[in-house]
Chain A
């Protein structure tokens, strides 16, 4: 069982997330049609295609540089709210991992935590506002718990993806308080948040790539 994440695995994770956003493009857009503006799948797929092009052009083994390249691609190619939010997530993860060619569980956990903090600072969402924060927050917490329990890397990753999945499902009954869905007020309840869904996909892609 691997105890660390290599540069190549981070690259595989970026590719995997790009593939998944392209595969799930219609589903993400369908969710966004219910409570947003019907573009989340299209935008994430466009952004991750650009991100893959940029990281594939990189030399070396600096995980931080690769994550920052993804962040810059998303900021400049996605637009909407998802661009600055996912862009900030990757930029902050990149800042937390600059110069590293390998991450252990603690390193991954710190990076994701830094990313989440960046998202919260940019979007000012709190848990239960029905946003991506509702999937990312429990995922970060699960990583910390797993670390404290002495879990190995793959178990910890699985627990964080599971927590993100639960957080994503818990957005269904919530009334949105941030973003375009908030205009719907009570009518936003009963629908799963598209941003929380793509955030779960991001963490599941980590399980698929690092496990």
Chain B
């Protein structure tokens, strides 16, 4: 059934649980502040979420940020053992340099601050401008750009591979290293190593709808899927007729395995991520297929993460991320973490 644009009180032609498209991020932050004051503090202008005990003296601070609409990333990962602060932009829009600079200051415990940046044109430019400003203010900063999405050709003719699921794993592992007292140079090197050993690819069953636009980001037929999507509702690499889960998992996994490459004897962390609109029942079916496929190639899943961790609003679909593990990365993954969305001791 189609509606006339603007027919409903939210201003779009879809139903959303919002008050006004312009207030989505602000009101989300108010909700986070109300719910999680024991773990995080929220600054509204400029907007950032910071762990309640920041800055931690003598410890490397780690901040990340990006457009909103990917919850729980990044705000959900602020806390002991992961991020010190996160800067939320508008929906699918990079945050601004003043947010990043203020967050950098707020987490500067004297040991420097690492910026974990997803590789998108806007995110990279805004973090660059923030680093230029922060270095003038006397804080030592370093930046690592995560670009793990094998769906994008990395060439002179694109903006390069996107940062997707690997970002969550990098934030967890680097946060653990910072907690253990590693230096800025060591945490930065570790982050680069994680980025070098992680690969991802995603797919969509449905598009998503930003509150500002009110209409779907692309059109997909009832019997179609989009392979190689990013996390902003941008169309992907190719559009294909819908297939069984086993075949879809193969389409996502093989480019990942061949790219690094992952080979027989490797131990991996397998991360099956939901895009926001896909239930866990389906993500476990995906995980089962992934496990069988990797077993058949002699690759062992040593750790896993399954759930909605880096989403694209209400998009249905999933992404698969594989990180090649070694003893150090495994120990850092297992280290305690206490954030809104990821918690273990």
B210: Cβ under 8 A from any A Cβ: yes
Given A37-B232, A180-B232, A185-B153: A84 in contact with B212 (beta carbons within 8 A): no
The 0/1 profile, CB within 8 Å of B marked 1, for residues 18-58 of chain A is 00000000000100010011110011001000000000000
Most chain A CB inside 10 Å of its own CB: which residue of B151, B156, B213, B218? B213
Q: Determine the chain B residues whose CB is within 8 A of the CB of A16 once the complex forms.
A: none
**Residue of A at shortest CB range from B90?**
A79
B41: Cβ under 8 A from any A Cβ: no
Report, as a range, how many residues of chain A touch the other chain.
20 to 34
Given A33-B217, A76-B46, A83-B122: A177 in contact with B158 (beta carbons within 8 A): yes
Please, how many angstroms separate the alpha-carbon atoms of A27 and B67 in the complex?
22
B175: Cβ under 8 A from any A Cβ: no
B115: Cβ under 8 A from any A Cβ: no
B96: Cβ under 8 A from any A Cβ: yes
User: How distant is A127 from chain B, measured CB to nearest CB, in Å?
Assistant: 14
A122: Cβ under 8 A from any B Cβ: yes
Main secondary structure of the interface of A (DSSP, over half): helix
Given A76-B96, A180-B232: A39 in contact with B210 (beta carbons within 8 A): yes
User: How distant is B91 from chain A, measured CB to nearest CB, in Å?
Assistant: 7
Q: Determine the chain B residues whose CB is within 8 A of the CB of A187 once the complex forms.
A: 235
Choose among A42, A46, A75, A81 the residue that contacts B121 (Cβ–Cβ < 8 A).
A81
Q: Determine the chain B residues whose CB is within 8 A of the CB of A180 once the complex forms.
A: 120-121, 159, 230, 232, 234
Choose among A37, A177, A178 the residue that contacts B92 (Cβ–Cβ < 8 A).
A37
Please, how many angstroms separate the alpha-carbon atoms of A183 and B147 in the complex?
13
Q: Determine the chain B residues whose CB is within 8 A of the CB of A38 once the complex forms.
A: 92, 210, 212-213, 217, 233
Please, how many angstroms separate the alpha-carbon atoms of A84 and B131 in the complex?
13
Please, how many angstroms separate the alpha-carbon atoms of A76 and B212 in the complex?
19
B125: Cβ under 8 A from any A Cβ: yes
A80: Cβ under 8 A from any B Cβ: yes
**Residue of A at shortest CB range from B211?**
A42
Question: Which residues of B, 91-127, contact A by the 8 Å Cβ criterion?
Answer: 91-98, 120-122, 125-126
Tell me whether A37 and B159 are in contact (CB under 8 A): no
**Residue of B at shortest CB range from A122?**
B125
Given A33-B217, A42-B213: A84 in contact with B129 (beta carbons within 8 A): yes
B43: Cβ under 8 A from any A Cβ: no
Given A79-B89, A83-B96: A182 in contact with B212 (beta carbons within 8 A): no
Please, how many angstroms separate the alpha-carbon atoms of A157 and B97 in the complex?
33
Q: Determine the chain A residues whose CB is within 8 A of the CB of B126 once the complex forms.
A: 79, 83-84
Tell me whether B157 and A182 are in contact (CB under 8 A): yes
Tell me whether B162 and A81 are in contact (CB under 8 A): no
Given A79-B95, A80-B94, A84-B129: A182 in contact with B210 (beta carbons within 8 A): no
Tell me whether A37 and B234 are in contact (CB under 8 A): yes
A151: Cβ under 8 A from any B Cβ: no
Tell me whether B96 and A33 are in contact (CB under 8 A): no
Most chain A CB inside 10 Å of its own CB: which residue of B91, B153, B158, B162? B158
**Residue of B at shortest CB range from A85?**
B125
Q: Determine the chain A residues whose CB is within 8 A of the CB of B230 once the complex forms.
A: 180, 183
Tell me whether A184 and B93 are in contact (CB under 8 A): no
Please, how many angstroms separate the alpha-carbon atoms of A184 and B159 in the complex?
11
The 0/1 profile, CB within 8 Å of B marked 1, for residues 123-167 of chain A is 100000000000000000000000000000000000000000000
Tell me whether B93 and A39 are in contact (CB under 8 A): yes
Tell me whether A43 and B93 are in contact (CB under 8 A): yes
Q: Determine the chain B residues whose CB is within 8 A of the CB of A80 once the complex forms.
A: 67, 89-90, 93-94, 122
Tell me whether B152 and A183 are in contact (CB under 8 A): yes
A78: Cβ under 8 A from any B Cβ: yes
A68: Cβ under 8 A from any B Cβ: no
Please, how many angstroms separate the alpha-carbon atoms of A43 and B218 in the complex?
19
Question: Which residues of B, 248-289, contact A by the 8 Å Cβ criterion?
Answer: none
Question: Which residues of B, 191-247, contact A by the 8 Å Cβ criterion?
Answer: 210, 212-213, 215, 217-218, 230, 232-235
Q: Determine the chain B residues whose CB is within 8 A of the CB of A79 once the complex forms.
A: 67, 89-90, 93-96, 122, 126
**Residue of B at shortest CB range from A43?**
B93
Please, how many angstroms separate the alpha-carbon atoms of A141 and B221 in the complex?
45
Q: Determine the chain A residues whose CB is within 8 A of the CB of B121 once the complex forms.
A: 81, 123, 178-180
Tell me whether A183 and B95 are in contact (CB under 8 A): no
A77: Cβ under 8 A from any B Cβ: yes
Given A38-B210, A39-B213, A80-B94: A183 in contact with B159 (beta carbons within 8 A): yes
A76-B97, A84-B128, A178-B159 known; 11 new pairs, CB 8 Å cut-off, are: A38-B212, A75-B129, A78-B93, A81-B122, A180-B121, A182-B157, A183-B151, A183-B152, A183-B230, A183-B234, A185-B158
Show 12 residue pairs from A and B whose CB-CB distance is below 8 angstroms, ordered by the A residue.
A29-B212, A43-B93, A75-B98, A76-B96, A76-B98, A80-B94, A81-B94, A83-B94, A84-B125, A123-B125, A180-B159, A184-B235
Ranked nearest first, the 10 interchain pairs of A and B with the lowest CB-CB distance are: A81-B122, A42-B212, A80-B122, A84-B125, A182-B158, A38-B213, A37-B232, A80-B93, A79-B93, A79-B89
